[in-house]
């Protein structure tokens, strides 16, 4: 037991709402050791974040209550403390000091009215009792340690003035400020570009080696777990369904849920007719008990691969057509002004002289890091941003020169699915009315009774219950809200859809369902897609051709498989190298670097 840091023993955390009790964490037990990383995986609602928050005693009460079990913290001197049995005052000595947490969304975790430096200093002054001068020096050295550029400048900046990756580094610096024994990382890289994600993961591994910390890494991405974790805990509906060595879990998963999670990641070396989902490996009976479909990942996927000859024949047919859209020398610049009423001092060249064609029935993937201009291209095409220069020809007409009436007709044919479905849905409008609204604007069908029937058909089409018509957006999960966004885009029978990061915030299993749905709808309705994402593995899987962007310009444009297999530019190679693939040789290398023999 000399290596043990944190023991979870039969933990139960409940939420009491409107006469019902939900066991968000139900009889959970596992052990974290020094210098070890445990990956906790599962879909949203599986209980992984609640498990972490329970160890910090941060469960909101009411409605939450930790109703059973123990969480034992082992100190360096051999003393043990049950964190659930001590007072709140005593708990403050452990929280942030011995056990630190990096939260999922750094923008909501950082206070917008204080500088980044002040927020890290506050934790240091509180726990280490240093004066402000010493605390500032320590903060700047921590900023250097987490590889923030120009630490002195970042110290004085506010959270909104730095990028997502830099905000996450500030959060890591804050978590590391008191040299904790345990670091809990709750989805710390979910919304980050793959290149930023890679540097954050490398940084966490470096800090762990230097300080012999135990890390609890919570994620739904098994590719990340493969590169980082020593042990894996798989959670489903509040319970641990499987746990063990990362090599054993990846080479020989036992529970059907684990098999489903492993199978539904888009493969990089082949294309499937559809992506497997968790439901392909397990079902539930009327009592919620899991029924194992008794099939392995290898058995299920062996006949799913699309032969290269079939894909080449489809491509030849696709690109023999006239383009449905031609983008010529498109520029979208945003002015930078000197003060509120000042003149324009310079421009941000978000899209800088970009030209490409899109063919009917094609999925053109746009990929690149945040700020590369991919979303601005999508918004400019649909005239949510006005182009500075260039032509956007759709079916022979220049979108940039359309008047209001022409633009309304154009938007009936060209729709957009936004990145965040929650912020694009009116919280005061039922989802049925939200889907029906564009039909009313474009006078589709004769009356609202017919439109309601059409909305119910669309809800069924995107695998939602038609009876959900009268529910509000907050009553749905992220994946369900994304389906509502898709149904709303389909309501006006478009020919062309721009998907802007439409799966980036979803669990890997829900992501697989949405990607399958988009491909089914494409075949059924003869749709053309521009598919925008920072996730190169998803873009490669979905796209016929891929366009790689950097700093508003096109780095590379061509066949998606060819670009992945033979990238022509160092930037594309960097993006590909940063993808966490979860290969067995990577797992083996990682474990053997820690002295663990496998295979």
Residue with tokens 């022509």, as numbered in its chain: 568
The enclosing domain of 362 has a CATH number of 3.40.50.300
**Model confidence, pTM:** 0.85
Across 267-290, average pLDDT: 88
Residue 518 counted as domain residue: yes
Same domain for 597 and 571?
no
Residues 199 and 342 occupy one common structural domain:
no
User: What does the pLDDT read at residue 92?
Assistant: 87
> Can you read off the two tokens belonging to residue 278?
């968790």
Q: Domain ends where: 179, 211, 232?
A: 179
Q: What is the greatest pairwise CA distance in the chain?
A: 77
| Residue 463 covered by a domain | no
- Whether the predicted pLDDT of 511 surpasses 60: yes
Tell me: do 157 and 8 sit in the same domain. Answer: no
pLDDT at 340: 64
- What is the pLDDT averaged over residues 147-169? 84
Using alpha carbons, list the distances in angstroms from residue 571 to 20, 210, 366, 576. 53, 31, 14, 9
Q: What's the rounded mean pLDDT across residues 406-430?
A: 86
Q: For residue 458, is it within any domain?
A: no
Q: What is the number of structural domains in the chain?
A: 3
Residue with tokens 């003869």: 526
Residues 412 and 540 in one domain: yes
Does 98 score more than 70 pLDDT? yes
Which pLDDT tens digit goes with each residue over 383-417? 999 999 999 999 999 999 999 999 989 999 999 98
Decide: residue 451, CB within 10 A, 0-12 exposed, 13-18 middle, 19+ buried: buried
What is the reported pLDDT for 571? 93
Q: Is residue 335 part of a domain?
A: yes
Per-residue pLDDT tens over the stretch 12-30: 999 887 778 888 899 999 9
The answer as to whether 550 is a domain residue is yes
- In Å, how far from its chain's centre is CA 310? 32
Hey, CA dihedral for 336, 337, 339, 341, is it positive or negative? negative
Domain-ending residue, one of 143, 163, 179: 179
CA–CA separation, 181 vs 36, rounded Å?
Answer: 11
Q: Which of 338-342, 498-502, 579-583 has the highest mean pLDDT?
A: 498-502
106 pLDDT higher than 90: no
Which residue from 54, 69, 565 is spatially nearest to 271, judged by alpha carbons? 565
Judge if 171 and 319 occupy the same domain.
Answer: no
411 lies in the same domain as 527: yes
Instruction: Pick the last residue of a domain from 179, 208, 230.
Output: 179
Looking at the structure, tell me whether residues 121 and 77 fall in a common domain.
no
Q: What is the pLDDT of residue 1?
A: 41
Q: In this structure, are residues 46 and 20 in contact, taking their beta carbons and an 8 Å threshold?
A: no
> What's the rounded mean pLDDT across residues 502-516?
82
- Strand ranges in 237-360 using DSSP code E only, listed in sequence order: 239-245, 282-284, 290-292, 325-337, 344-358
User: Smallest Cα–Cα separation from 182: which of 216, 210, 205?
Assistant: 216
**Chain-wide mean pLDDT for the chain?**
88
Residue 594 or 490, more confident: 490
pLDDT of residue 499: 92
Q: Give the separation between CA 484 and CA 502, rounded to whole angstroms.
A: 12
Q: Among 415, 404, 485, which Cα is nearest to 444's?
A: 415
| Structural domain that includes position 17 | 1-98+181-270+582-599
Judgement on whether residues 323 and 414 belong to the same structural domain of the protein: yes
Question: Are 217 and 342 contained in the same domain?
Answer: no
pLDDT number for residue 341: 67
Task: Look at residue 599 and tell me whether its pLDDT is greater than 70.
Answer: no
For 340, which DSSP code? S
Q: What does the angle CA 412 – CA 355 – CA 330 come to, to the nearest 5 degrees?
A: 70
Mean pLDDT of 350-370: 93
Extract long-range pairs of 422-429: CB within 8 Å, 24+ residues apart.
422/473, 422/478, 422/481, 424/485, 425/473, 425/481, 425/484, 425/485, 426/473, 427/472, 427/473, 427/474, 428/472, 429/472
Indicate if 160 and 66 belong to the same structural domain: no
Question: Confidence band (pLDDT; 50, 70, 90) for 130?
Answer: confident
pLDDT at 286 over 90: no
**By the 8 A CB rule, do 263 and 280 touch?**
yes
Has residue 286 been placed in a domain? Answer: no
If asked whether residues 260 and 148 sit together in one domain, one would say no
**Cα 210 to Cα 145: distance, rounded to the nearest angstrom:** 11
The answer to whether the beta carbons of residues 549 and 367 sit under 8 Å apart is yes
189, 228: one domain: yes
pLDDT at 191: 65
Asked if residue 443 is part of any domain, the answer here is no
In a domain, 514, yes or no: yes
Query: Which of the residue ranges 113-117, 170-174, 249-253 would you say has the lowest mean pLDDT?
Result: 170-174
pLDDT at 279 exceeding the cut of 60: yes
Whether the predicted pLDDT of 481 surpasses 70: yes
Q: What integer is the mean pLDDT of 348-377?
A: 91
Lowest mean pLDDT among 104-113, 143-152, 292-301, 401-410: 104-113
Whether the per-residue pLDDT at 107 is higher than 80: the answer is no
Reading the block at residue 596, the tokens are: 């663990």
What does residue 211 show for φ and ψ, rounded to 5 degrees?
A: -115, 0
Give the CA distances from residue 334 to residues 45, 48, 128, 387, 498, in Å, rounded to whole numbers and listed in that order.
Answer: 40, 41, 45, 10, 22
Q: How many helices (H) and strands (E) does the chain have?
A: 24, 22
Is residue 479 within 8 Å of 420, Cβ to Cβ?
no
pLDDT in tens, 47-71: 898 999 999 999 887 888 999 999 9
């Amino acid at each position: 037991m000399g290596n043990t840091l944190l023991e979870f023993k039969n933990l139960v955390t409940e939420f009491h709402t409107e006469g019902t009790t939900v066991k968000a964490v139900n009889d959970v037990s596992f052990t974290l050791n020094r210098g070890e990383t445990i990956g906790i995986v599962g879909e949203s609602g599986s209980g992984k974040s609640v498990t972490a928050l329970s160890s910090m005693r941060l469960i909101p009460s009411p409605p939450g209550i930790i109703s059973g079990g123990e969480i034992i913290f082992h100190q360096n001197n051999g003393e043990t403390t049950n964190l659930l049995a001590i007072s709140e005052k005593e708990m403050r000595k452990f929280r942030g000091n011995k056990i630190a947490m990096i939260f999922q969304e750094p923008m909501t975790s950082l206070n917008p009215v204080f500088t980044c430096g002040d927020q890290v200093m506050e934790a240091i002054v509180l726990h280490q009792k240093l004066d402000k001068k010493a605390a500032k020096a320590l903060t700047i050295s921590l900023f250097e340690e987490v590889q923030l550029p120009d630490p002195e400048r970042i110290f004085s900046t506010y959270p909104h003035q730095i990028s997502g990756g830099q905000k996450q580094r500030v959060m890591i610096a804050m978590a590391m400020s008191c040299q904790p024994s345990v670091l809990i990382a709750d989805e710390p890289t979910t919304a980050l570009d793959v290149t930023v994600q890679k540097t954050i993961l490398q940084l966490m591994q470096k800090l762990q080696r230097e300080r012999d910390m135990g890390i609890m890494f919570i994620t739904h991405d098994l590719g990340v777990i493969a590169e980082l974790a020593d042990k894996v805990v798989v959670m489903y509906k509040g319970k641990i369904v499987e746990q063990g060595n990362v090599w054993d879990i990846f080479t020989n998963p036992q529970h059907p849920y684990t098999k489903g999670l492993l199978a539904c990641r888009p493969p990089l070396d082949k294309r499937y007719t559809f992506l497997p989902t968790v439901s392909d490996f397990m079902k539930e009976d009327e009592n919620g008990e899991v029924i194992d479909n008794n099939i392995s990942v290898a058995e299920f996927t062996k006949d799913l691969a699309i032969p290269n000859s079939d894909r080449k024949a489809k491509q030849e047919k696709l690109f023999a057509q006239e383009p449905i859209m031609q983008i010529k020398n498109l520029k979208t610049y945003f002015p930078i002004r000197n003060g509120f009423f000042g003149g324009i001092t310079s421009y941000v060249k978000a899209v800088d002289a970009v030209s490409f064609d899109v063919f009917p029935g094609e999925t053109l993937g746009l990929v690149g890091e945040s700020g590369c201009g991919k979303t601005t291209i999508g918004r400019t095409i649909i005239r949510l941003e006005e182009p500075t220069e260039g032509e956007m020809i759709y079916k022979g007409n220049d979108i940039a020169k359309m008047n209001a009436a022409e633009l309304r007709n154009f938007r009936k044919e060209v729709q957009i699915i936004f990145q965040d479905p929650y912020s694009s849905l009116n919280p005061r409008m039922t989802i049925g009315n939200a889907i029906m609204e564009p039909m009313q604007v474009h006078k589709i069908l004769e009356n609202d009774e017919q439109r309601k029937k059409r909305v119910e058909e669309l809800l069924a089409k995107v695998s939602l219950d038609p009876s959900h018509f009268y529910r509000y957006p907050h009553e749905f999960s992220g994946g369900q809200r994304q389906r509502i966004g898709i149904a709303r885009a389909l309501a006006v029978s478009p020919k062309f859809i721009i998907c802007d990061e439409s799966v980036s915030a979803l669990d890997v299993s829900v992501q697989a369902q949405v990607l399958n749905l988009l491909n089914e709808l494409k075949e059924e309705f003869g749709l053309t897609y521009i598919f925008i994402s920072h996730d190169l593995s998803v873009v490669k899987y979905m796209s016929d051709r891929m366009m790689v962007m950097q700093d508003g310009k096109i780095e590379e444009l061509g066949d998606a498989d060819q670009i992945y297999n033979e990238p022509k530019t160092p930037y594309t190679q960097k993006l590909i190298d940063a993808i966490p693939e979860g290969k067995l040789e990577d797992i083996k290398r990682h474990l053997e670097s820690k002295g663990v023999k496998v295979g």
